[in-house]
Structure 1
Amino acid sequence: MQQLLDNDVLKSFVAIAEHGSFTRAARQVHRTPSAISMQIKRLEETVGKTLFVRDSKQVRLTADGEILLSYGRRLLKLNEEAMQQFLSPALEGRVGFGTSDDVGTRILPRLLAQFSRSYPAVQVDVVVGSSRTNFQKVNYGDLDMALVVVGNEGQQTRGEIVHSEPLVWAGLEGGIALHQSPLPVALAYQGCVWRWMAMESLDKANIPYRVAYTCEHSSGQEAAMLADFAVAPFPLGLVRPPLRKLGDDRLPEMGNYQIALVRGKANPINDALAAFVKEAFANFNA
């Protein structure tokens, strides 16, 4: 009969891989270093591969160890979801969730799929709109929570910061918009943090510009750049060919923008979805 991987052993293995130390991993899994050393020895015997390279300073994964780490994380996650399905209190109801389109395209599909598997009796109503509009809807009670874009790091804001990312200048690869004067820029409507960060940076650098394209969503800015109609402030993680990050020295840096999770009244359903949102961003940032 084929041997199966033990969850407790996988927890120790993943902890060692993430901490680079048997001692630190032992504290996390509440075992002694010698005990988890024996676990790893049995695991290596089970899979027939050497999983770690040990030296005087740290413990590093081998190529086979890296492969097993990917499987191990997924197996532990699936086990956690299965236990949550049967052991968590049953939740039923609806939750209103607001987001901007740049977040929705990257985070929401997997997040909502996982949440739906864990809480099939909860209906999630998603509203895609501007941060300003969704923020107001949370305040008015029309939404239970929303992901909103906020300004530079260090600035006070309502909600919990769940993501930080560089805002960069982007444009069409080989395009001419960058070389025009005044510089044509594609911005969101008044009140958008990206708009404020872009205009402030250009003003401080004394760069003449004109707002050539105004839109509600980042997809509109992307369309303007693809048409080589303008350049735009854009999240680094969304810059994909044929767009490119513009490294021209004359364009000033804008720094990082952040995404905050803003919540209305707390209840078990909202708490459950908020936990999934924060975990999704933690994995996205890793």
Structure 2
Amino acid sequence: MQLLDNDLLKSFVAIAEHGSFTRAARQVHRTPSAISMQIKRLEETVGKTLFVRDAKQVRLTAEGEVLLSYGRRLLKLNEEAMQQFFSPKLEGRVGFGTSDDVGTRILPRLLSQFSRSYPAVQIDVVVGSSRANQQKVDAGELDMALVVVGNEGQETRGEIVHSEPLVWAGLEGGIAMHQRPLPVAVANQGCVWRWMAMNSLDQADIPYRVAYTCEHSSGQEAAMLADLAIAPFPLGLVRAPLRKLGEDLLPEMGSYQISLVRGGNNPINEALTAYVKEAFADFNS
């Protein structure tokens, strides 16, 4: 049985992510004809057609989607193995701040992958509100933090690493969404989700009342499960028995962003930043 060639996988993943042989060729520094020959070799190796080509775009076949998952993991393992031998050895600690809605989704994979590459680095995770964590970065208590941004007129600091729709959510079959004034569960003043929710309700002239407050999304989820209120919630966190509430009843809020704010540049911060970006890229793919 033949083994998969890393160079072929690298070109294959580039085409899948860019949707174009030409753009992928520029990324891997090859000509379009050379990268086309690579895909032909890869398809001969696995015995399957990996792409459907038409005039406007290149799409993965079902077999191609399966190989993409394996390809990304194989390339990542190869990179981690090389880092063990050729990357500068890092030792020390890094303070990392995040909110609970972000942490529950990317932290397990992020911490696992980073610790395999840099086992001598201690990561101290602080879960708190975006405002509190950003203040801790400014005070030197944290090295970096993921903060939610989106308030009108708010200065956006750091680097945007994620964007996601904010939707209205509530208990499936619940009565909270039908009450007036509308009971909502939000965080305290200064929260981006709170501002987006109240601004949309004000513009739609829908009467509401703050029925529940909590700085953590888990607390807002509890209020919805108890059918005390509905809440603005990231689309990716809405799961049964909660459901997304229809736009025919409530106004759209748009998307919010997550920014990575860093307190300074050093080798550990740089290394962890790369893993944070990759974790979000994997999450969004």
Quick check: TM above 0.5? yes
Asked if the contact 1:152–1:258 (Cα under 8 Å) also holds between the matched residues in 2, the reply is no
**Partners in 1 of 2:86 and 2:189 — Cα distance?**
47
Match of 1:198 in 2: 197
Match of 2:120 in 1: 121
Report SS of the residue matched to 2:148.
strand
Shift of 1:274: 1.2
Match of 2:15 in 1: 16
**Partners in 1 of 2:56 and 2:132 — Cα distance?**
52
Identity of aligned residues (%): 87
Q: Which amino acid is 1:245 matched to?
A: K
Match of 1:75 in 2: 74
Superposition CA RMSD, Å: 1.9
1:44-193 pair list within 5 angstroms: 44-152=43-151, 156-193=155-192
Report SS of the residue matched to 1:266.
coil
Cα shift readout 1:213-236 (whole Å, capped 9, x = no counterpart): 111211010000000011111111
Q: Which amino acid is 1:272 matched to?
A: A
Which range is displaced more, 264-273 or 29-38? 29-38
**Partners in 1 of 2:72 and 2:184 — Cα distance?**
43
Cα shift readout 1:137-195 (whole Å, capped 9, x = no counterpart): 11111111111111158853111111111111110011000111111111111221111
Match of 1:30 in 2: 29
**Partners in 2 of 1:249 and 1:55 — Cα distance?**
37
Asked if the contact 1:152–1:255 (Cα under 8 Å) also holds between the matched residues in 2, the reply is no
**Partners in 2 of 1:248 and 1:20 — Cα distance?**
32
Which range is displaced more, 55-64 or 75-84? 55-64
**Partners in 1 of 2:10 and 2:153 — Cα distance?**
35
Cα shift readout 1:73-115 (whole Å, capped 9, x = no counterpart): 2111111111122211110000000100000111111011111
Match of 2:241 in 1: 242
**Partners in 2 of 1:63 and 1:143 — Cα distance?**
44
Shift of 1:13: 2.2
TM-score between the two structures when normalised by the length of structure 2: 0.93
Asked if the contact 1:172–1:228 (Cα under 8 Å) also holds between the matched residues in 2, the reply is yes
Where does structure 1 lack aligned partners over 5 or more consecutive residues? none
Where does structure 2 lack aligned partners over 5 or more consecutive residues? none
- Paired residues in the alignment total 285
